[in-house]
Amino acid sequence: MARMKGAKVIPKTQRSALVAIEQVQEGGAKLAAHKAGYKSKSTAKKHIAAAKAQKAQKGPDFNIYEDPDNFNNIKQPGKPELLPDESKQRLIEHATEDKENAEKLMEDRVMPRRPSSGNLAIRQQKPWDIITEETHDGFVSYSTIKKAFYNEGYHRYKPTYKPPLNDKQMDDRDQWCCCHSHQTVDNFWKYVIVSDEISVRCGEQRGKTRVTRKKDRKFHKTVIRRKYKNYTEFQFWCCYCHGYKGPWHIWERESEAERQQINQELNRINKKLEPIAKKIFDNKERLLDLTRLGNRKGKKVRFENSYKPHGWKLTKPLYREAAPNSIDTFRYQKEIIIHKLHQFYQEMERIRPGMMIYQDNAPAHSAWFQKDCFERLGMRVLTCPGNSPVLNAIEDLWQPLRVDATGYFHHPRTTQETNY
């Protein structure tokens, strides 16, 4: 391209592009010069150049950039927001106001499964679109609602389920936490053996599985996964101490021979307990005769009628009322406490004198029959508040184990397929 005659050559080092704010000022200056009466372009450019020279001598005016009125009053391009700030705030306040607004009764969709305190229906969380219908008049898409909540830091999570606590259980938990909150690992918790059991489903699939295919290849053999009606469910028990792994146990299905053996053992124990129960029963009857001065009405209770499975709890014999293949007090004592937990306790007692056993208050753990067994074996037990499984440190291990055990693409169906 030929250079114009008389044109001023500007070195490349002095050339610069106008930033956005300078472009606005340049256009505004031209418009102001035109409205002031400078119709000629050359005259307008002359006055603009003089203004620029004067500005260069005085320095840049930073008040232009600091004044918000220079920018906020300009009409923003594009479609206005469907949810202004007032509507967003109203949505969030309605969604998080209280439990009644955070959950919705779905009586017409879900049948109640069990009675709850003050309510027979199942509570479910309100979806965001329902909250919008209750608080917003116009139509708003779900993506707009979702974006509004996300910008404020709100997301949809699975609810946290905790067992209910009565006043006594809350007092016991508070007292337990106050007594052990100052304990450290070195002076207390490394001397505690924690144990618990969990129900595991072999072959259970966790989460959703996706395959890559075309729409018309739904029944192709490469994308079909086999579905089995039956699965195997078993109980898994383990224990550990700080720095040491304890034994583990998987309960097999109880055979008829094992069940008969436990019943024979209970009959043998009941024969030894019968004289003690009869003595307690006689003392009770004698005390009733003394308090009522012999004016007791009706037939006198016989010991044979009281010494039954559902009789008086101080005189009734030991019996099993659990369903077959379940883990009851006697099976837990025989297979866990005597054969596995006691051996690990003795080994840890040799390494760290002063060990204790910590387990939850499940019926198989807190029965008087188990307490008597711990005393006979010389094992100390750390008490646990009722209905408080979260206080057991082993509870945090179950969820990662479940995720790891059900996270395979192919679930083993036979022993040969098992590689874990």
How many structural domains does the chain have? 3
Q: What is the residue type of 177? A: C
Per-residue pLDDT of the chain (420 residues; tens, 9 = 90+): 444 555 555 454 444 444 455 555 566 666 666 666 655 666 666 766 776 676 667 665 555 545 555 555 556 666 777 777 888 887 777 777 654 444 443 333 333 333 343 332 233 366 766 776 766 656 777 788 888 888 888 887 777 777 888 888 889 999 999 999 899 999 999 999 999 988 877 666 666 677 778 888 888 887 887 666 666 677 889 999 999 999 999 888 888 888 888 888 888 888 888 888 888 888 887 777 666 655 666 667 777 777 777 776 667 777 777 666 678 888 898 889 999 999 999 999 999 999 999 998 888 888 888 888 999 999 999 988 888 878 888 988 888 877 776 655 455 555 555 544
Rounded to a whole number of angstroms, the CA Rg of the chain reads 39
Largest CA distance in the chain: 139
pTM, whole model, 2 decimals? Answer: 0.61
In a domain, 36, yes or no: no
Q: Are residues 171 and 310 in the same domain?
A: no
Q: Are residues 317 and 329 in the same domain?
A: no
In a domain, 415, yes or no: yes
Q: Are residues 239 and 348 in the same domain?
A: yes
Q: Are residues 232 and 281 in the same domain?
A: no
In a domain, 271, yes or no: yes
Q: Are residues 319 and 372 in the same domain?
A: no
Q: Are residues 381 and 246 in the same domain?
A: yes
In a domain, 62, yes or no: no
In a domain, 28, yes or no: no
In a domain, 76, yes or no: no
Task: Return the CATH number at 373.
Answer: 3.30.420.10
Q: Are residues 170 and 233 in the same domain?
A: yes
Q: Are residues 204 and 271 in the same domain?
A: no
> Of the candidates 122, 18, 136, 125, which has an alpha carbon nearest to the alpha carbon of residue 81?
136
In a domain, 23, yes or no: no
In a domain, 240, yes or no: yes
Q: Are residues 302 and 334 in the same domain?
A: no
Domain boundary among 127, 151, 175: 151
Q: Are residues 318 and 335 in the same domain?
A: no
- Boundaries of domain holding 265: 254-323
